[in-house]
């Protein structure tokens, strides 16, 4: 302790503004801390999706492979993607329920592309906790999630059960009448 | 040094914690109030630099594992995936690859400093031995890490080094088969090396803690080799040593950054960018630079078993050093004769490193043919490495034991403060 | 001090002596001035585009480049990077290049192996199905993958350029086997094929690849005269980019980091001097 005292007591004798000297220490510590903080960013960012993962993020799909009343499940961004070719009956049932009381109200027409009402594209991941719902179960003729019993209708809207939101419609576009690009 | 603590808990929380887990007291006594010899020079900053290296290797290594695939089929491609696709992957991988070299640069300077200033002498033998254990673990870790990218040098380096154990009589063959987990270096070998490469750095960190503990029990050596006698001989670790270490680390980082950003592959070998192929050996197989002196000693001996023993013996000398040096004077500053032998020792190590990188039969002085001695021309790297190896062993086994008894050291100062004060006055 | 200096001089002398070449070694690569050298080096995009064309029209018939995807061509610093298309997947040049290639795939309905036009996310397809096929079609020699070639050869792009422009007639007295070609830059040892004295073995070695480039072999779209020298330089630069696509980013980051570290060191030095100013040591 005596040594620190030696340094401390002699300070004023040697001239120089003490606050100026403190500034040097503060600047050095601040610069070191700033550099360390900047270095942290690469270490965090490396956990974000890598370039090859991002490159696979969009996929093209040929709709002729799906007959009416059937659904094809693809893997997209590591999750199941339902591409369903709906029957006339399914569509009219969905449209008829547009004004029914719902947790997450949405019109069927807003969930498909204009003029392509038979094509319903959904991310096959229950909005409750991420299980994969199965088609043809539940009380509404649509999807049913076996994990915690969420019922979705033929438009993929949540009607009963713990899930808070409708099945998500991903970003997609029609490249031609028979081809969609998802993502 | 392990005297009573001067830590005074200031806040209520500090008092509460101090009664239950005196961790702040431990940190304060070790890194704030710890008395440090006032005459430490820049060679003493490499301990701090080494802990920075270890931290950097651990962090970048743990990150690389998030993207690396330990499999003979995918390892090479996964390293390139890191280099090309992972965000900042190139930076992290180059930091890790060059960080290993920086680690060894720092550790060699640290060891040479200990050698020159007699930091291995009583009461610091255990401190020195723990350092030698860290060095051994570092070599094992670096060797196994170099195998992981599964390039040509990785693969054939692993083949050559594991085959060293085959030199042992009777058990040699079963040991190599056991190391490989098969009949050659293959997927099983890669996977166990990966596992151990992840484990060993944490063991290093553990031994480093023991190393620092031992250091704090006996106190730091200093350039005079005279133990601090009074408060006038020391300064508190913080801020005196911390700011000096910090400055030295920053300068060391410039060297590190220069390698990472401007010559990231200069210390590596081009062949390691070719995927491992067990059917073709690269024409000139060399280990990483930090193993070259030992590689040269291995090749200097014409017999396989004796070569392996010589190589391990070279490391064993380091462990025996505290009992080989008979001099009562610690620092070579006051041992003019020993100083000269030490300088030659450093040069011999560099020459061994050079020899390890060259083909044994290549000529040292081009276009000069002398005469054949036993198995090679005298003007060849194999003979140069034999002379250098001989000096290496002689330094430890002959020079240091005898010199301590015969030499006449210069007068050693009474205390640390006295020469420093007289120098200032003069 | 004198003794120290003489030791240093001796070590330096040894190191230098080690650099000198013994007979039988390849010639050292020619020193080319590359745009990507030095602390501020950048790839010359026009050169990369020409180099890609040389690769596409000449090299790719035998050499794979399997670590690269088409999208990489549109990455920052790459031959077809365009500021308008930050996401290289959407880059129209990249898409057009990819479409020209066919890649193997599995029909998602029938499960049959099919060929489809490549997309920008696909890797460059290899010209041969496997190593055996590649060796079979090339007289037993394996054309090396080009993804990392510029880093996998000592001398890098200098070496590739020297090799491509270095084909010469074999010196009289050298026995060249069928399917072999003499190149003084190729590593190897020709002692066994040399009929002259052991002191004068020609430098270099044999290479299975015949001289691949010659004047006018490739027509450059930007009107650059298509000489052997130009093609060799351009394709070497392209291969350097392929091996180290992050080179520009690395050098730019490095400059900032080193400036920062110099400033930090200056501050810490000032701080150090301030702390120690009254302490003798």
Predicted-complex ipTM score: 0.91
Rg (CA), chain C: 25
Q: Which of A26-40, B67-81, C197-211, C238-252 has the lowest mean pLDDT?
A: C197-211
Phi (first) and psi of residue C69, to 5 degrees: -105, 160
Q: Please tell me which of the candidates C121, C267, C278 has its beta carbon nearest to residue A7.
A: C278
Residue A134: its H or E element: strand A134-135
Chains touching B (3+ CB pairs < 8 Å): A, C
In this prediction, residues A137-147 reach a mean pLDDT of: 89
Per-residue confidence (pLDDT) for residue A18, from 0 to 100: 67
Say if the Cβ atoms of A47 and B66 lie within 8 Å. yes
Chains touching A (3+ CB pairs < 8 Å): B, C
Assess contact for C171 and C260: CB atoms under 8 A. no
Q: Which of A2-16, A74-88, B277-291, C231-245 has the lowest mean pLDDT?
A: A2-16
Catalytic status, residue A128: no
A47: helix, strand or coil: coil
Q: Which of C62-71, C110-119, C145-154 has the lowest mean pLDDT?
A: C110-119
Euclidean distance between CA atoms B312 and B49, whole angstroms: 27
Asked if the model's pLDDT at residue B365 lies above 60, the reply is yes
Chain A: nearest CA to B352, how far in angstroms? 38
In this prediction, residues B24-42 reach a mean pLDDT of: 93
Assess contact for A58 and A181: CB atoms under 8 A. yes
Phi (first) and psi of residue C104, to 5 degrees: -75, 145
Q: Please tell me which of the candidates A11, A21, A28 has its beta carbon nearest to residue C267.
A: A28
Asked if the model's pLDDT at residue B425 lies above 80, the reply is no
Closest residue by Cα to residue B296 from B379, B392, B158, B367: B392
The residue with tokens 């019993």 is A149
Residue B129 CB coordination number (10 Å): 18
Asked if the model's pLDDT at residue C11 lies above 50, the reply is no
Is the CB of C108 inside 8 Å of chain A's CB atoms? yes
Q: Which residue has the higher pLDDT, C3 or B232?
A: B232
Euclidean distance between CA atoms B390 and C25, whole angstroms: 31
Measured between beta carbons, which residues in chain B are less than 8 angstroms from residue C17?
363-366
Per-residue confidence (pLDDT) for residue C234, from 0 to 100: 97
Chain A: nearest CA to B102, how far in angstroms? 18
Say if the Cβ atoms of B91 and C253 lie within 8 Å. yes
In this prediction, residues A58-75 reach a mean pLDDT of: 85
In this prediction, residues B365-376 reach a mean pLDDT of: 82
Per-residue confidence (pLDDT) for residue B419, from 0 to 100: 59
The residue with tokens 């696509």 is C245
CA triplet B51, B56, B59: central angle to 5 degrees? 125
Per-residue confidence (pLDDT) for residue C108, from 0 to 100: 67
- Among candidate residues A14, A25, A128, A148, the one labeled active-site is A148
Per-residue confidence (pLDDT) for residue A137, from 0 to 100: 81
In a mutational test of the A interface, the residue from B79, B87, B89, B257 whose CB has the highest number of chain A CBs within 10 Å is B87
Q: Which residue has the higher pLDDT, B290 or A75?
A: B290
Per-residue confidence (pLDDT) for residue B3, from 0 to 100: 55
B121: helix, strand or coil: coil
Say if the Cβ atoms of A48 and B87 lie within 8 Å. yes
Euclidean distance between CA atoms C123 and C166, whole angstroms: 31
In a mutational test of the B interface, the residue from C3, C4, C12, C17 whose CB has the highest number of chain B CBs within 10 Å is C17
In this prediction, residues C258-281 reach a mean pLDDT of: 91
Percent of chain B topping pLDDT 70: 97
Is the CB of C267 inside 8 Å of chain A's CB atoms? yes
Summary mean pLDDT of chain A: 85
In this prediction, residues C94-122 reach a mean pLDDT of: 86
Say if the Cβ atoms of B88 and A53 lie within 8 Å. no
| Partner residues linked to A158 by β-bridges | A152
Asked if the model's pLDDT at residue C17 lies above 50, the reply is no
Euclidean distance between CA atoms A38 and B297, whole angstroms: 44
Q: Which of B87-96, B341-350, C126-135 has the lowest mean pLDDT?
A: C126-135
3-state secondary structure chain C: CHHHHHHHHHHHHHHHHHHCCCCCCCCCCCCCCCCCCCCCCCCCHHHHHHHHHHHHHCHHHCCCCCCCEHHHHHCCCCCCCCCCCCCHHHCHHHHHHHHCCEEEEECCCCCCEEEEECCCCCECCCCCCCHHHHHHHCCCCCCCCCCCHHHHCCCHHHHHHHHHHCCCCCCCCECCCCCCEEECCCCCCCHHHECCCHHHCCCCEEECCCCCCCCCCCCCCCCCCCCHHHHHHHHHHHHHHHHCCCHHHHHHHHHHHHHHHHHHHHHHHHHHHHHHCCCCC
Is the CB of A176 inside 8 Å of chain B's CB atoms? no
Q: Which of A140-144, B105-109, B125-129 has the lowest mean pLDDT?
A: A140-144
* Ramachandran class of B425: left when φ > 0, alpha when ψ lies in -120 to 50, beta otherwise: alpha
In this prediction, residues C236-248 reach a mean pLDDT of: 97
Euclidean distance between CA atoms B141 and B135, whole angstroms: 10
Chain C: nearest CA to A136, how far in angstroms? 22
Say if the Cβ atoms of A52 and B85 lie within 8 Å. yes
Summary mean pLDDT of chain C: 88
Q: How confident is the model at residue A6 (pLDDT cuts 50, 70, 90)?
A: very low
Which tokens is B91 given?
């930076």
* Ramachandran class of B367: left when φ > 0, alpha when ψ lies in -120 to 50, beta otherwise: left
Tens digits of residue pLDDT in C24-61: 588 999 999 999 999 999 999 999 999 999 999 999 99
Chain A: nearest CA to C89, how far in angstroms? 6
CA distances for A92 relative to A66, A98, C56, angstroms: 20, 10, 54
Per-residue confidence (pLDDT) for residue C24, from 0 to 100: 58
Euclidean distance between CA atoms A73 and A84, whole angstroms: 9
In this prediction, residues A108-120 reach a mean pLDDT of: 91
Chain C: nearest CA to B272, how far in angstroms? 7
In a mutational test of the A interface, the residue from C254, C258, C267, C269 whose CB has the highest number of chain A CBs within 10 Å is C267
Tens digits of residue pLDDT in A36-57: 999 999 999 999 999 888 887 7
Asked if the model's pLDDT at residue C185 lies above 50, the reply is yes
Euclidean distance between CA atoms C42 and C38, whole angstroms: 9
| CATH superfamily name and code, B29-422 | Cytochrome Bc1 Complex; Chain C (1.20.810.10)
| Partner residues linked to C105 by β-bridges | C114
Phi (first) and psi of residue A80, to 5 degrees: -75, 145
Considering the domain C34-68+124-167+213-270 in this protein, what is its CATH number? 1.10.760.10
Say if the Cβ atoms of C280 and B38 lie within 8 Å. yes
Summary mean pLDDT of chain B: 93
CA distances for B363 relative to B52, B221, B254, B370, C23, angstroms: 41, 43, 36, 10, 11
Euclidean distance between CA atoms B137 and B191, whole angstroms: 19
Euclidean distance between CA atoms A119 and A109, whole angstroms: 11
Q: Please tell me which of the candidates A25, A42, A51 has its beta carbon nearest to residue B92.
A: A42
Per-residue confidence (pLDDT) for residue B328, from 0 to 100: 92
Euclidean distance between CA atoms C46 and C59, whole angstroms: 19
B321: helix, strand or coil: helix
* Ramachandran class of B25: left when φ > 0, alpha when ψ lies in -120 to 50, beta otherwise: alpha
Q: How confident is the model at residue A4 (pLDDT cuts 50, 70, 90)?
A: very low
Euclidean distance between CA atoms B395 and B297, whole angstroms: 15
Per-residue confidence (pLDDT) for residue B144, from 0 to 100: 96
What residues contact C29, with CB distance under 8 A and at least 6 apart?
A: C155, C158, C159, C161, C162, C185
Euclidean distance between CA atoms B27 and B166, whole angstroms: 47
Per-residue confidence (pLDDT) for residue C281, from 0 to 100: 55
Q: Which of A133-137, B369-373, C237-241 has the lowest mean pLDDT?
A: B369-373
- End-to-end C-alpha distance for chain C, whole angstroms: 24
Measured between beta carbons, which residues in chain B are less than 8 angstroms from residue A45?
87-88
Per-residue confidence (pLDDT) for residue C14, from 0 to 100: 43
Domain ranges across chain B: 29-422
In this prediction, residues A142-149 reach a mean pLDDT of: 92
In a mutational test of the A interface, the residue from B68, B85, B246, B421 whose CB has the highest number of chain A CBs within 10 Å is B85
Phi (first) and psi of residue C182, to 5 degrees: -85, 135
B301: helix, strand or coil: coil
Per-residue confidence (pLDDT) for residue B377, from 0 to 100: 86
Q: CA neighbours within 13 Å on the CB side: how many for B137?
A: 19
Say if the Cβ atoms of C246 and B354 lie within 8 Å. no
Prediction pTM value:
0.90
């Amino acid at each position: 302790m005596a040594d620190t005292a030696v340094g401390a007591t002699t300070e004023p004798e040697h001239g120089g503004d003490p606050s100026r000297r403190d500034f040097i220490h503060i600047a050095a510590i601040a610069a070191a801390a700033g550099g360390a903080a900047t270095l942290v960013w690469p270490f965090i960012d490396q956990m974000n999706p890598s370039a090859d993962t991002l490159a696979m993020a969009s996929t093209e799909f040929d709709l002729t492979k799906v007959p009416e009343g059937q659904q094809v499940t693809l893997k997209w961004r590591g999750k199941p993607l339902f591409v369903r070719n709906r029957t006339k009956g399914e569509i009219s049932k969905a449209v008829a329920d547009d004004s029914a009381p719902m947790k997450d109200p949405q019109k069927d027409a807003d969930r498909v592309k204009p003029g392509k009402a038979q094509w319903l594209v959904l991310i096959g991941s229950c909005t409750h906790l991420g299980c994969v719902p199965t088609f043809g179960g539940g009380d509404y003729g649509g999807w049913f999630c076996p994990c915690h019993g969420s019922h979705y209708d033929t438009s993929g809207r949540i009607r009963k059960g713990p899930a808070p939101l409708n099945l998500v419609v991903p970003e997609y576009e029609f490249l031609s009448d028979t081809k969609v690009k998802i993502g | 040094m392990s005297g009573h603590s001067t830590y005074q808990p200031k806040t209520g929380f500090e008092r509460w914690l101090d009664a239950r887990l005196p961790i702040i007291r431990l940190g304060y006594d070790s890194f704030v109030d710890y008395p440090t010899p006032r005459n430490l020079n820049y060679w003493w900053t490499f301990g701090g630099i080494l802990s920075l290296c270890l931290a950097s290797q651990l962090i970048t290594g743990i990150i690389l594992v998030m993207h690396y695939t330990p499999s003979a089929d995918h390892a090479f491609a996964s390293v390139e995936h890191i280099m090309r696709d992972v965000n900042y992957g190139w930076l992290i991988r180059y930091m890790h690859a060059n960080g290993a070299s920086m680690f060894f640069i720092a550790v060699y300077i640290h060891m040479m400093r200990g050698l020159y200033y007699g930091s291995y002498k009583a009461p610091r033998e255990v401190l020195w031995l723990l350092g030698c254990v860290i060095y051994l673990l570092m070599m094992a870790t670096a060797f196994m890490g170099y195998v992981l990218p599964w390039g040509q040098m990785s693969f054939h380096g692993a083949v050559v080094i594991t085959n060293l154990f085959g030199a042992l009589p009777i058990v040699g063959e079963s040991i190599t088969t056991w190391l490989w987990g098969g009949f050659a270096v293959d997927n099983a070998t890669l996977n166990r090396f990966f596992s151990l490469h992840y484990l060993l750095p944490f063991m290093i960190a553990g031994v480093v803690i023991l190393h620092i503990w031992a250091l704090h029990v006996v106190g730091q050596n200093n350039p005079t080799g005279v133990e601090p006698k009074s408060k006038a001989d020391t300064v508190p670790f913080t801020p005196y040593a911390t700011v000096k270490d910090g400055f030295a680390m920053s300068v060391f980082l410039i060297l590190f950054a220069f390698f990472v950003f401007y010559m990231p592959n200069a210390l590596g070998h081009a062949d390691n960018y070719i995927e491992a192929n067990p059917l073709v050996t690269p024409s000139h197989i060399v280990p990483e630079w930090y193993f070259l002196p030992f590689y040269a000693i291995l090749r200097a001996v014409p017999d396989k078993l004796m070569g392996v023993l010589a190589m391990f013996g070279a490391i064993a000398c380091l462990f025996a050093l505290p009992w080989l040096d008979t001099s009562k004077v610690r620092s070579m500053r006051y041992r003019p004769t020993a100083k000269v032998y030490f300088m030659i020792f450093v040069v011999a190590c560099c020459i061994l490193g050079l020899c390890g990188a060259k083909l044994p039969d290549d000529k040292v002085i081009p276009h000069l043919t002398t005469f054949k001695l036993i198995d090679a021309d005298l003007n060849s790297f194999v003979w140069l490495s034999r002379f250098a190896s001989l000096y290496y062993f002689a330094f430890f086994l002959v020079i240091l034991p005898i010199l301590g008894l015969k030499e006449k050291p210069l007068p050693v100062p009474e205390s640390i403060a006295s020469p420093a004060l007289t120098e200032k006055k003069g | 001090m004198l003794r120290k200096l003489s030791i240093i001089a001796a070590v330096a002398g040894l190191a230098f002596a080690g650099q000198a070449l013994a007979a039988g070694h390849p010639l050292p690569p020619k020193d080319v001035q590359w745009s990507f050298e030095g602390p501020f080096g950048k790839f010359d995009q026009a050169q990369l585009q020409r180099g890609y064309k040389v690769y596409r029209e000449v090299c790719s018939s035998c050499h794979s480049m399997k670590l690269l995807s088409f999208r990489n061509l549109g990455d920052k610093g790459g031959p077809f990077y365009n500021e308008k298309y930050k996401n290289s997947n959407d880059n129209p040049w990249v898409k057009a290049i990819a479409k020209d290639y066919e890649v193997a795939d599995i029909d998602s309905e029938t499960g049959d192996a099919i060929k489809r036009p490549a997309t920008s996310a696909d890797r460059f397809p290899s010209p041969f199905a496997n190593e055996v096929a590649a060796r079979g079609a090339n007289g037993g020699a394996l054309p090396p993958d080009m993804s990392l070639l510029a880093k996998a050869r000592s001398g890098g792009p200098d070496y590739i350029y020297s090799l491509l422009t270095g084909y010469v007639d074999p010196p009289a007295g050298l026995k060249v086997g069928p399917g072999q070609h003499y190149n003084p830059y190729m590593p190897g040892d020709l002692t066994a094929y040399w009929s002259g004295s052991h002191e004068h073995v020609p430098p270099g070695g044999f290479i299975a690849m015949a001289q691949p480039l010659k004047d006018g072999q490739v027509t450059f779209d930007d009107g650059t005269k298509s000489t052997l020298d130009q093609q060799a330089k351009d394709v070497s630069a392209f291969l350097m980019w392929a091996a180290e696509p992050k080179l520009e980013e690395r050098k730019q980051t490095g400059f900032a980091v080193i400036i920062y570290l110099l400033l930090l060191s200056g501050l810490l030095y000032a701080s150090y001097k301030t702390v120690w100013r009254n302490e003798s040591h």
